[in-house]
Amino acid sequence: MPQETKAMPFDPDTLEHAPGVAHVSLEGQRPELADEQSVRKAVEQAFDYRGDVTITLRDGRVLEGYIFDRRGDAKLLADCRLRLIPRDSSEKITISYTDLVGLAFSGRDPAAGKSFETWVKKYKEKKAAGETNIRLEPEKLD
């Protein structure tokens, strides 16, 4: 006969959790695109970045926007592509990794400094101040 289990009440003060990952801010950085490995790494970081990046292309064009997709797992770098939504357009542009000569993390990272630990700290501060029905609302994105 299966044992009956009782649901435990949710108490964020006693929850066990692993510490969050320490994220290094990429904002303002310009990785060197010296070889195939550095290009692949920079595009991966740019894909994970939540702000805009500025890309300089081999033909001299400079594009600023958000990298929303990438296909960087091909054996040949020439077969790898990223997709970018320019800051001033809704057009989706496909760019070959081999066309990249510069990449800068130029936009503000809207998620920087936001973690579960930060949320718990704010929760505890509100609880200590005697608040009830505590709700932490997300900040508005720009």
Would the pLDDT of 113 be above 90?
A: no
- Look up the pTM and report it: 0.63
Would the pLDDT of 11 be above 60?
A: yes
Q: How high is the pLDDT of residue 63?
A: 96
Q: How high is the pLDDT of residue 139?
A: 61
pLDDT in tens, 89-108: 989 999 999 999 999 999 77
Instruction: Please give the C-alpha separations between residue 43 and each of 60, 62, 111, 127, 140, in angstroms, as whole numbers.
Output: 19, 16, 19, 42, 27
Spatial contact of 121 and 105, defined as CB atoms under 8 Å apart? no
Q: How high is the pLDDT of residue 19?
A: 58
Catalogue all structural domains in the chain, each as residue range(s) with its CATH number: 36-104 (2.30.30.100)
